[in-house]
Structures are given as structure tokens and as C-alpha cells.
Amino acid sequence: MNKSRSNIPALLIVFIIFLILGVLFSKYFATASSQHSLDSFKVIHLNWFTEIIFRNTIAFLVLSSTLFLGNIVSVIFFCVNGFNVGLICGQLPIFQSIVLLLPHGIIEITSYVWLVYAVTHVNHMKINIIRAYCLLFLAAIIEVFVTPELALWLLGD
């Protein structure tokens, strides 16, 4: 049981390392434009919310397979997510990255960490999995309904 607890800080370190690698890759190898418009934030679509919930649920289920497949799943999951976040951050100015990713990102990563903890500890596993998913759902609400308004307010004209 203690071995699993020490895995959580290691996963966060892996996430940060791959986030940095994603930023570096994006800065030096990616060809996408760093010019992003805030026009896409002016209209909030229910489709966007359902798409994010769907993707987050798939990610949640994949990470849940740590229960059956072992910690390698969680390590790969945090590597891939860190790298993806880094790719996004590398294409945006730092303040824009913070505004667009931090509000929901902290809650989303906390949800994934909580899920890893839940599936690696037998005590209260079901309730902790439910709590982790509720956090993930909250992150999606923030991503769709709060972040666009915050971006328009802080980054808009």
C-alpha cells in the first residue's frame, strides 16, 4: 500500500517532465501557428461540452485500467497527457496558456491522481472513483463554461 502512495508524486513528476518535453518539441519542431483567435470562445456549444465529457470519460476508463493492467498504464497516461499539454503550451504565449489551461487543468489532473489512488487502494475504492469522476465532470464544466468567459475577459480586445 505504501508503494502505491509513493507512486503519486512520481506520476506528477513524469507529467511535468513530459509537459516540458512537449513545450520544447512544440517550440523547436512543430510548424503550427501560434496565432490563436479568441473568436471560438464567443459561442459556447452543448456539443463542445458533450465532446469533452466523452473524451474525459474515455481517458478516465483508460486510466481505470491501472486496476487490472498495473501502474504502467498510469505512467503512460501521465506521459501522454503531459506531452499533449506541453504541445499546447508551446504554441501559445505563457499568459494565454495559463488562462486557457490552469482553471480546469488543476482539477482535471487532481481527478486523475485521485483515480490512480482509488484504484490502487482497496479501502473506499468505489466512493473514491465516484469522487474522482465528479471532479473530472467539474473540470469539464469549468473548461466549457468558465474558461471561455475568463479568456474573453483577460485576453480579449
**Contact by Cβ (8 Å): 25, 87:** yes
State the Cα–Cα distance between residues 90 and 79, nearest whole angstrom. 16
State the Cα–Cα distance between residues 37 and 66, nearest whole angstrom. 38
State the Cα–Cα distance between residues 154 and 30, nearest whole angstrom. 27
In a domain, 115, yes or no: yes
Would you state the pLDDT for residue 29? 84
In a domain, 39, yes or no: no
Question: Which structural domain range is residue 105 located in?
Answer: 2-26+46-155
Would you state the pLDDT for residue 34? 45
In a domain, 33, yes or no: no
State the Cα–Cα distance between residues 2 and 152, nearest whole angstrom. 45
Q: For residue 37, what are the CA distances in angstroms to 62, 101, 131?
A: 32, 15, 35
State the Cα–Cα distance between residues 139 and 60, nearest whole angstrom. 13
Phi-psi sector, 66: left (phi>0), alpha (psi -120 to 50), beta: alpha
In a domain, 35, yes or no: no
Q: What is the arithmetic mean of pLDDT over 1-21? A: 80
**Contact by Cβ (8 Å): 14, 81:** no
Would you state the pLDDT for residue 23? 93
In a domain, 40, yes or no: no
State the Cα–Cα distance between residues 35 and 50, nearest whole angstrom. 27
Cell of 134: 465528479
| pTM of this structure | 0.85
pLDDT at 95 over 70: yes
In a domain, 41, yes or no: no
Number of domains in the chain: 1
- pLDDT above 90 covers a percentage of the chain that reads 60
pLDDT in tens, 52-89: 999 999 999 999 999 899 899 999 999 999 999 999 99
In a domain, 37, yes or no: no
State the Cα–Cα distance between residues 39 and 106, nearest whole angstrom. 25
**Contact by Cβ (8 Å): 77, 119:** no
